[in-house]
Amino acid sequence: MRRWKLEDAKNQFSQLVREALSAGPQLVTRSGKDAVVVVSAAEYDQLVAPRGLVQFLRDSPLSEAMRYGELELDRPREPARDVEL
Protein backbone atom coordinates (compact mmCIF):
# COMPACT_ATOMS: atom_id res chain seq x y z
CA MET A 1 0.00 0.00 0.00
CA ARG A 2 1.46 3.31 -1.05
CA ARG A 3 1.69 6.12 1.52
CA TRP A 4 0.85 9.68 0.54
CA LYS A 5 1.46 12.83 2.54
CA LEU A 6 -1.77 14.84 2.73
CA GLU A 7 -0.24 17.71 0.75
CA ASP A 8 0.84 15.34 -2.03
CA ALA A 9 -2.55 13.61 -2.03
CA LYS A 10 -4.29 16.97 -2.49
CA ASN A 11 -1.91 18.10 -5.24
CA GLN A 12 -2.06 14.77 -7.09
CA PHE A 13 -5.61 13.68 -6.34
CA SER A 14 -6.24 12.33 -9.84
CA GLN A 15 -3.14 10.15 -9.56
CA LEU A 16 -4.21 9.00 -6.09
CA VAL A 17 -7.59 7.92 -7.50
CA ARG A 18 -5.99 6.14 -10.47
CA GLU A 19 -3.70 4.20 -8.15
CA ALA A 20 -6.56 3.29 -5.80
CA LEU A 21 -8.42 1.88 -8.80
CA SER A 22 -5.48 0.01 -10.32
CA ALA A 23 -3.15 -0.88 -7.43
CA GLY A 24 -5.50 -1.07 -4.44
CA PRO A 25 -5.87 0.96 -1.24
CA GLN A 26 -3.79 4.12 -0.81
CA LEU A 27 -2.85 5.41 2.66
CA VAL A 28 -2.86 9.15 3.31
CA THR A 29 -0.94 10.53 6.28
CA ARG A 30 -1.36 13.83 8.11
CA SER A 31 1.41 15.18 10.30
CA GLY A 32 3.24 11.89 9.84
CA LYS A 33 0.39 9.78 11.21
CA ASP A 34 -1.95 7.46 9.30
CA ALA A 35 -5.13 9.42 8.59
CA VAL A 36 -7.29 7.80 5.89
CA VAL A 37 -7.26 5.04 3.31
CA VAL A 38 -8.59 5.67 -0.19
CA VAL A 39 -10.18 2.61 -1.80
CA SER A 40 -12.14 2.02 -4.98
CA ALA A 41 -15.94 1.98 -4.76
CA ALA A 42 -15.96 -1.70 -5.72
CA GLU A 43 -13.57 -2.58 -2.90
CA TYR A 44 -15.57 -0.50 -0.44
CA ASP A 45 -18.77 -2.27 -1.47
CA GLN A 46 -17.13 -5.62 -0.74
CA LEU A 47 -16.02 -4.43 2.69
CA VAL A 48 -19.46 -3.23 3.78
CA ALA A 49 -21.66 -5.78 2.02
CA PRO A 50 -23.86 -7.64 4.46
CA ARG A 51 -22.96 -11.28 4.91
CA GLY A 52 -25.17 -14.04 6.15
CA LEU A 53 -24.65 -15.61 9.54
CA VAL A 54 -23.36 -18.84 8.04
CA GLN A 55 -20.69 -17.03 6.02
CA PHE A 56 -19.76 -14.92 9.03
CA LEU A 57 -19.20 -18.04 11.12
CA ARG A 58 -17.22 -19.74 8.34
CA ASP A 59 -14.93 -16.70 8.09
CA SER A 60 -14.43 -16.55 11.85
CA PRO A 61 -10.96 -17.41 13.25
CA LEU A 62 -12.74 -19.81 15.60
CA SER A 63 -13.91 -21.81 12.59
CA GLU A 64 -10.31 -22.32 11.48
CA ALA A 65 -9.25 -23.30 15.00
CA MET A 66 -12.00 -25.92 15.12
CA ARG A 67 -10.92 -27.33 11.75
CA TYR A 68 -7.37 -27.86 13.00
CA GLY A 69 -8.49 -29.34 16.32
CA GLU A 70 -7.25 -26.37 18.34
CA LEU A 71 -10.72 -25.63 19.69
CA GLU A 72 -13.35 -28.08 20.78
CA LEU A 73 -16.84 -26.97 21.63
CA ASP A 74 -18.88 -29.57 23.45
CA ARG A 75 -22.12 -29.30 25.29
CA PRO A 76 -23.38 -31.58 28.03
CA ARG A 77 -25.14 -34.67 26.71
CA GLU A 78 -27.34 -35.15 29.80
CA PRO A 79 -31.05 -34.63 29.29
CA ALA A 80 -32.46 -31.30 30.33
CA ARG A 81 -33.27 -30.90 34.00
CA ASP A 82 -36.81 -31.31 35.27
CA VAL A 83 -38.59 -28.06 35.91
CA GLU A 84 -41.85 -27.73 37.83
CA LEU A 85 -44.30 -25.41 36.18
Cα separation values, 67 from 8, 56, 60, 61, 76, Å: 46, 15, 11, 10, 21
CA-CA distance, 8 to 38, in Å (whole number)? 14
Q: How many CB atoms lie within 10 A of CB 38?
A: 20
The percent of residues above 90 in pLDDT, for the chain, comes to: 53
* pTM confidence score: 0.61
Write the pLDDT tens digit of every residue in 21-52.
999 999 999 999 999 999 999 999 988 888 88
Dihedral of the alpha carbons of 33, 37, 38, 41, in degrees to the nearest 10: -170
Mean pLDDT of the chain: 91
Q: What domains are there in the chain, each with its CATH number?
A: 2-67 (3.40.1620.10)
Residue 67 banded pLDDT, cuts 50, 70, 90? confident
Phi first, then psi, for residue 27 (nearest 5°) are: -95, 130
